[in-house]
Chain A
Amino acid sequence: MKTKLPVTIAFLTGIFMAFAYFVERDNVAWVRILYEELNQNNIVLAVFVLFLGVGTLLIRHAKKIRDRNSDSIYSWVVIVSTLAVAYIGLFQTTGESIGANENFQWIFNNFQVPLSATMFSLLAFFVASAAYRAFRARNTEATLLLIAAAIVMIGRVPIGAVISDGLNLTGSFSLPAIAEWILDIPNTAAKRAITIGIGLGMTATAIKIIFGIERTYMGSGK
């Protein structure tokens, strides 16, 4: 029951949604109604999945505080900031929407934006360091990769045109034109093969889920 019921539900919902794609839903009322209901339900279910994630995070940090880990002070930062921002967002919003909550927007602009943006901007430094350490033209394939990367990096920024003018490379032989060609032809060809592979893989995985062969969404345990 604990396994058969979820597998049966996945089968029924999956088969119906796939079937609904091929039906003129406007002409078959029950298909249209059920299709819209399932869509609506999934939109709301996504919210509970988020709450699961946030709940897991808070429990993990609460355990660190309870166990008095050396870094438990930072767990206090996580829990207090989560509750503070949630309080401002949930209880200081008047009316029907959060769009008019100036305090919430202020927190977003002056906490979320710098923290999120700066965390990702660190990658600029690490990509430089990683490229310096790891990119070696050891064989033909690696050399091709390096040359393509260098041409695209130079050709797609303004300095590419300046360097091309300096080296007297014009028209189709300028760095920007070569970079454009790399993106239009070899890149598109290879990425197309990958896209087709992904499409086939997605379809196979979806079919496996619907027919109960793939059950990883149920987690471990009996």
Chain B
Amino acid sequence: MILNLIAPFNTTEGLGIWIAAFLTLCIFSFLYKDNPFYKFAEHLFVGVSSGYYISIYYWNTLKPNMIDELTKGFTALGKGDMQKAFGLDESGAVMAEPHLRMLVPLMLGIFILLIFISRKNAWLSRISFAWYIGVASGIAIPTAMSTRVLLQAQGSIRDFCSYNADCAVSAGLEPQVATTALWINAFLLLIGTLSALAYFFFSLPSKGALKVMNKVGIYFLMISFGASFGYTVMARISLLIGRLQFLFYDWLGITIS
């Protein structure tokens, strides 16, 4: 382990590393107890994030998708070209560039901002939210059923098909040689899915066969939550490792020999 010079203070990059290290240590100080350094860093985080998001949203979405389009539309309008102003070509067909058609989302956006401006007219924001949510809901229905229900149900019995050469070929799957262990795994997967689904079925009383399935289901669920906890721990520690790598390698200049 070699300890090099700490990041220089007198360059932009070095100054940045010192600021980053200071802020990192401010946040870590919370582990001892809450203190003004932590509170300062926490509030700075909120402020910097907000400013960052405003800039990113403006330059990446608002300006290219709305402001530039409206500018081109008003320019065309000023030149008397009504068709082009509304994003229509000479034959009246709709062009990809919307131009003044962006006045519709602009109006809906202003309705949202009315929440701040006028309490009397704030109800208009409901139109914008209804529009947004309506579109999102309509898109979600067929694909949610397909991806999360139908294809998942298919996945539960997929292995059985791939162990049969004819079925595999007709379903476009790669045929697999079925050992006993693979068959057991396939059955366990199917039983586990059905029993976990049965656990969440509250419309019938938990008696007889359903009670047995519920019990089996909860065992599968508990194992799954254990796996999720294990991975969650892995995720959190990874983030800590990332910060330590910054402090040791970038700030303190430690290199591993």
A contacts B directly in the complex (CB < 8 Å)?
A: yes
A1-55: which residues lie under 8 A (CB-CB) from chain B?
2-3, 5-7, 9-22, 33, 37-52, 54-55
B232-243 vs A: 1/0 string, CB under 8 Å?
Answer: 111011011011
The answer to whether A59 touches B116 (Cβ under 8 A) is yes
Given the known A-B contacts A112-B52, A156-B234, A200-B149, are A189 and B105 also in contact in the complex, defined by CB atoms under 8 Å?
no
Given the known A-B contacts A44-B102, A199-B144, are A83 and B51 also in contact in the complex, defined by CB atoms under 8 Å?
yes
Check: A182 CB closer than 8 A to any chain B CB: yes
Residue among A11, A33, A74 having the largest count of chain B Cβ atoms under 10 Å: A74
The answer to whether A123 touches B39 (Cβ under 8 A) is no
Q: Is the interface of A mostly helix, strand, loop or mixed?
A: helix
- Distance between Cα atoms of A210 and B133 in the complex (Å): 9
- Distance between Cα atoms of A62 and B53 in the complex (Å): 19
B198-232 vs A: 1/0 string, CB under 8 Å?
Answer: 01100000000000000001111111111111111
Check: B113 CB closer than 8 A to any chain A CB: yes
B: interface residue count bin: 35 or more
The answer to whether B105 touches A41 (Cβ under 8 A) is yes
Given the known A-B contacts A111-B19, A111-B23, A190-B196, are A182 and B227 also in contact in the complex, defined by CB atoms under 8 Å?
yes
The answer to whether A193 touches B52 (Cβ under 8 A) is no
The answer to whether B233 touches A13 (Cβ under 8 A) is no
Given the known A-B contacts A78-B43, A109-B16, are A190 and B144 also in contact in the complex, defined by CB atoms under 8 Å?
no
A175-222: which residues lie under 8 A (CB-CB) from chain B?
181-200, 202-203, 205-207, 209-210, 217-219, 221
Check: B161 CB closer than 8 A to any chain A CB: no
Task: Find chain B residues with CB under 8 A from A104 CB.
Answer: 55
The answer to whether B239 touches A124 (Cβ under 8 A) is yes
For A40, give the chain B residue with the smallest CB separation: B98
Task: Find chain B residues with CB under 8 A from A81 CB.
Answer: 43-44, 46-48, 50-51
The answer to whether B58 touches A206 (Cβ under 8 A) is no
The answer to whether A185 touches B189 (Cβ under 8 A) is yes
A84-136: which residues lie under 8 A (CB-CB) from chain B?
84-90, 93, 97-98, 104, 106-125, 127, 131
A131-179: which residues lie under 8 A (CB-CB) from chain B?
131, 140-142, 144-153, 156-157, 172
Distance (Å) between the CB of B90 and the closest chain A CB?
17
- Distance between Cα atoms of A169 and B152 in the complex (Å): 34
The answer to whether A189 touches B220 (Cβ under 8 A) is yes
The answer to whether B196 touches A189 (Cβ under 8 A) is yes
Q: Which of A83, A93, A141, A157 contacts B59 (CB 8 A)?
A: A93
Task: Find chain A residues with CB under 8 A from B219 CB.
Answer: 140-141, 144
Q: Which of A21, A49, A89, A185 contacts B112 (CB 8 A)?
A: A49
Distance (Å) between the CB of A136 and the closest chain B CB?
14
Known: A5-B130, A119-B27, A149-B226. 15 other contacts (CB 8 A): A16-B138, A17-B137, A18-B139, A44-B66, A48-B128, A88-B55, A115-B44, A123-B236, A142-B222, A147-B226, A185-B189, A192-B152, A193-B200, A193-B217, A199-B147
